[in-house]
Amino acid sequence: EPEVTQTPSHQVTQMGQEVILRCVPISNHLYFYWYRQILGQKVEFLVSFYNNEISEKSEIFDDQFSVERPDGSNFTLKIRSTKLEDSAMYFCASIPNPNYGYTFGSGTRLTVV
Amino acid sequence: SQQGEEDPQALSIQEGENATMNCSYKTSINNLQWYRQNSGRGLVHLILIRSNEREKHSGRLRVTLDTSKKSSSLLITASRAADTASYFCATVLMMEYGNKLVFGAGTILRVKS
């Protein structure tokens, strides 16, 4: 069964450093998402991406965050200057169209120290 | 804001028993989805029920939707130890391009063998 692949599975970074979280969505999917889950809290929407541009972003997704789909397969989330409160699990997801359930990757655990 | 809120927060049952989890939400929906999350892992899509459907089955899972009460339930029959996980309902918020999921806080299910 097709999978959404995320790398790395765990990233530790110093506060203020830039991190790039990588995702390879399912190849024929058209809608891409990033969600995050702070330990013990709800899964929160960050951003959606369609037709090579952001279609929606949450209040969390401020100027420190950016997303790119640099080629036909990768979908990246960049955090420019990490803060302690950015520590969370970050999940990538994709769907072929809005009538489907999401396929999530297994997540990247980001720890900012 | 549109949110799925599950109850109970935690449920502990014996293997073989049925587990019922409930979800309430606040606004009109296009569809509602249930996801499972094993500890520290990614979210797995279980079932999607559209707003014009009242009940849906998938294996040992049965989902109901009552749009007049803005509520849904997930029933897992003949539970197994492997069903131990967190279960989330997610309401679907339509956007101009695509949609986004709004997750509830989840129910932690423990199935004792």
pLDDT given at position B4: 64
> What is the C-alpha radius of gyration for chain B, rounded to an integer number of angstroms?
14
Per-residue DSSP letters for chain A?
----EEE-SEEEE-TT--EEEEEE--TT--EEEEEEE-TTS-EEEEEEEETTEEEEE-TT--TTEEEE--SSS-EEEEESS--GGG-EEEEEEEESSTTS--EE---EEEEE-
pLDDT given at position A101: 94
Structural contact between residues B15 and B112, judged by C-beta atoms closer than 8 angstroms: yes
The per-residue b/e assignment along A38-73, b for 16 or more CB within 10 angstroms, e otherwise, is eeeebbbbbbbbbeeeebbbbebbeeebebeeeeee
Residue count (chain B): 113
Confidence of residue B2 (pLDDT cuts 50, 70, 90): very low
pLDDT given at position A66: 97
- pLDDT above 90: percentage of residues in chain B: 75
Mutate to test the interface with B, among A6, A26, A29, A42 (most CBs of B within 10 A): A42
What mean pLDDT do residues B44-66 have? 97
pLDDT at B36 over 90: yes
Q: How far apart are CA A30 and CA B48, in angstroms?
A: 19
What mean pLDDT do residues B61-90 have? 96
Residue with tokens 């299910």: B109
Q: Which residues of chain A have pLDDT under 50?
A: none
pLDDT at B5 over 90: no
* Inter-chain Cβ pairs, chain A and chain B, closer than 8 A: 67
pLDDT given at position A71: 86
pLDDT given at position A82: 97
What mean pLDDT do residues B8-26 have? 95
pLDDT given at position B15: 97
Structural contact between residues B89 and B6, judged by C-beta atoms closer than 8 angstroms: yes
Q: Using a CB-CB distance cutoff of 8 angstroms, which residues of chain B are in contact with residue A93?
A: 43
Smallest Cα distance from B104 to chain A, Å? 6
> Which of A50-54, B26-30, B35-39, B61-65 is the most confident on average?
B61-65
- Report the chain A residue with the minimal C-alpha distance to residue B31: A99
Exposure on the CB side of residue B50, measured as CA atoms within 13 A: 5
pLDDT given at position B3: 59
CB contact under 8 A, A44 and B44: no
Confidence of residue B41 (pLDDT cuts 50, 70, 90): confident
- pLDDT above 70: percentage of residues in chain B: 96
pLDDT at B1 over 50: no
pLDDT at B17 over 60: yes
